[in-house]
Chain A
Amino acid sequence: LAKTTQPISMDSYEGQEVNITCSHNNIATNDYITWYQQFPSQGPRFIIQGYKTKVTNEVASLFIPADRKSSTLSLPRVSLSDTAVYYCLVGDLAGQGGKLIFGQGTELSVKP
């Protein structure tokens, strides 16, 4: 299983763009990159998933370089409500039966 490394915490201000980078140097061919968000006292929530290049949805963008050894979650114009823990997960999810392997995550704090 690919090990992921991401910053433990980040601070930002409302209206800024936030980029959280995750390193996964030993990512395998069948591995996908998935990001989850967790608010206090809630369960994790799926944000975005990608395999290569760029993926964008209504919540975030995910940038994956050609070597796939890292990925960057981009949150445009954050608000106070984006304060949460963000998890980067890497794995052959179909092969794992959908089992998710969580790391420590990045605790994002958005200030006014």
Chain B
Amino acid sequence: EAGVTQFPSHSVIEKGQTVTLRCDPISGHDNLYWYRRVMGKEIKFLLHFVKESKQDESGMPNNRFLAERTGGTYSTLKVQPAELEDSGVYFCASSQGGRPGEAFFGQGTRLTVV
């Protein structure tokens, strides 16, 4: 069974540009989460999808971030326009039933804004 996959693994963009991160959850997982770690800080929750609906987007930092989950399958996180402080590692995780605290994470996308 394939795990959670994220693309790209690395991205370097200039300030003001747009970047789109993609996450493919484990097949059949209704719950999809985005997290990020900015330099030297803890991993922080961004938002939670249940199928195609946003269940909780309390962690989204501002309106430059837009997350979508088309048809309840893969998800994209777009940053537009990117700022220097958006640099960090963005993780996606998915889960389906089972233990509430057990989520499966992807390897992350390292975003560098220069």
Contacts and interface: CB of A to CB of B under 8 A. Distances in A.
Interface stretch (A8-16, A20-28, A65-73, A95-103): A95-103
Interface residues of B, number: 25
Nearest to B41: A104
Given A97-B48, A99-B33, A104-B42, A43 B56 contact: no
Contacts of B108: 41-43
A43 B107 contact: yes
A101 B103 CA distance: 12
B43 A102 contact: yes
B42 A49 contact: no
Contacts of A102: 35, 42-44
B71 interface: no
Contact of B101 (A42, A89, A104): A89
A100 B55 contact: no
A85 B56 CA distance: 27
Interface of A: 32, 34, 41-46, 49, 87, 89, 91, 93-94, 96-105
9 contacts: A41-B107, A41-B108, A42-B108, A43-B106, A43-B108, A49-B99, A93-B100, A98-B101, A98-B103
